[in-house]
Structure 1
Amino acid sequence: MSTNLRTLLSGEDPVHIARQLIGVELYTHIDGQETAGRITETEAYWAPDDRASHAYGHRRTPRTEPFYARAGTSYVYLCYGIHELFNVITGPEGVPHAVLIRAIEPTLGVPAMLARRHMESLKPQLSRGPGVLSLALGITRTHNMVNLLDAESPVQLRAGAGPCVMRGGGPSCKPGDVMCTPRIGIDGAGPEWAAKPWRFYRSGTQYVSRLNAFT
């Protein structure tokens, strides 16, 4: 599997990694269905200092154990008892950094994705939002702690095409292709952490959870 992706994800700066993951393909092979989409929106979480992270203060519980795994491991958790949110663990092993994947633009298996979302036609609502993208791709908590760089895994990261293409250590985006804003929905972490400009999204696409959140 991609040495470039492994090198990227093993880096020490999850903010840089969150930006570079724009354009990477998130692929699933679940229940006999192949589906995929290019990542269009991400958020970085920089524990142990980040009060918005589940691993703040080096918190280590059965729930947060994936944070301490090797870069490229999945972390899937239940949010508000409803949504299963998909994250990529990054950084050196034992350092609890992560990137939340907030939206994708479909590239493969659209009929299967529509069926999972009970939708009849392709619209951005299919996969713009961290909860619905997991539904569309068939990702659940059973896919927690999956090796995303293993070609045999049911959930994988793959070097993408499109506006951000893999060159050298990671996807390379043209200036202006990727927008940066504060993260969404973390006011409880306090104003300092809520204001961190650690959310990234690809410009020119409707596959973004909250396109005008800070405009």
Structure 2
Amino acid sequence: MKKLERRFYERPTLEVARDLLGKYMIHETNDGRTVGKIVEVEAYVGSIDAACHAYNNKCTNRTKIMFGEGGHAYVYLIYGMHYCMNIVTNQETYPEAVLIRALEPVEGLQIMKRRRKTESVLNLCSGPGKLCQAMGITKLQNEIDLCGGRMFLLQGETIMSNNIGTTPRINIDYAKEARDYPWRFIVKDSPFVSKGK
């Protein structure tokens, strides 16, 4: 399978979000290699999206990575305990990203089970915090170039449009009208998506 190139990420964010479904995310660590197929994502568009950290093009120390070139990781901590993995999209100066919400575990399952302290394959990567723990993603991976050799994406499988479900995003009730944007995309009938909606 071919590694995704920069130009894949440097397109309009809603296109990238849909096209990420079925792609394989790989993380090479000292523990070993873990691989997951992307089955759920959410798009965030900073200029118009009250749910985005860079809403109204707000650039801070945390969000500055979103203003850079597409194809880098934006990793942050929520609730003081869970990491979330995002992929920066579109062109420089457009603060946009796609949150990876769920993976189907493909390789390195024993490593994932050990990290997550569970034997349930369905519970390994069925949420953004879970998948980061299972894949060994922490603040150390923030700003990493996904066109490099440690963490990257492969072409994977093509998910046909009739197999893609669209819903509003999860846990963003604070985001005014943006909470209703249909910017969550899932692989229909996948048992590995998160249980939020």
Q: TM-score range by the shorter chain?
A: over 0.9
Q: Which residue of 1 aligns with 2:21?
A: 22
* Counterpart Cα distance in 2 of 1:24 and 1:4: 9
- Offset, 1:157: 1.4
| 2:151 aligned residue (148, 155, 166) | 155
Alignment identity in percent? 37
- Verify the 8 A CA contact 1:6 1:72 in the aligned structure 2: yes
Partner secondary structure for residue 161 of structure 2: coil
Q: What does the per-residue CA deviation read over 1:103-124, in whole Å, with 9 as the maximum and x for residues that have no partner?
A: 00011100000000011x2421
1:92 Cα deviation from its structure 2 partner: 0.5
Note if 1:205 corresponds to 2:190.
yes
Aligned to 1:176, which of 136, 139, 162? 162
TM-score by length of 2: 0.95
Partner in structure 2 of residue 38 of structure 1? 37
Q: Which one-letter code corresponds to 1:136 in the other structure?
A: A
Root mean square deviation of aligned Cα? 1.6
Partner of 1:93: 92
* 3-state SS in 1 of match to 2:66: helix
Q: Does 1:129 pair with 2:127? A: yes
The corresponding residue for 1:68 is 67
Native 8 Å contact 1:134 1:140 kept in 2: yes
Matched residues, number: 197
Deviation at 1:22, TM superposition (A): 0.2
Aligned counterparts of 1:111 and 1:86: Cα–Cα separation in 2: 21
In 2, Cα distance between equivalents of 1:80 and 1:32: 26
1:7 CA displacement: 2.2
Contact 2:3 2:153 in 1 (8 A): no
Show the counterpart of 1:169. none
Q: Is the 8 A contact 2:45 2:95 kept in 1?
A: yes
Q: Which letter maps to 1:41?
A: E
Q: Which runs of 5 or more structure 2 residues have no equivalent in the other structure?
A: none
TM-score w.r.t. the length of structure 1 is: 0.87
Unaligned runs of 5+ in 1: 165-172
3-state secondary structure, aligned to 1:145 = coil
Paired with 2:79 and 2:22, the residues of 1 have a C-alpha distance of 28
Residues 162-215 of structure 1 show CA distances to partners (whole Å, capped at 9, x for unaligned) of xx2xxxxxxxx223211000000111011x10000000000121110126x1xx
CA contact (8 A) 1:127 1:133 kept: yes
Kindly state the Cα deviation for residue 69 of structure 1 after the two structures are TM-superposed: 1.5
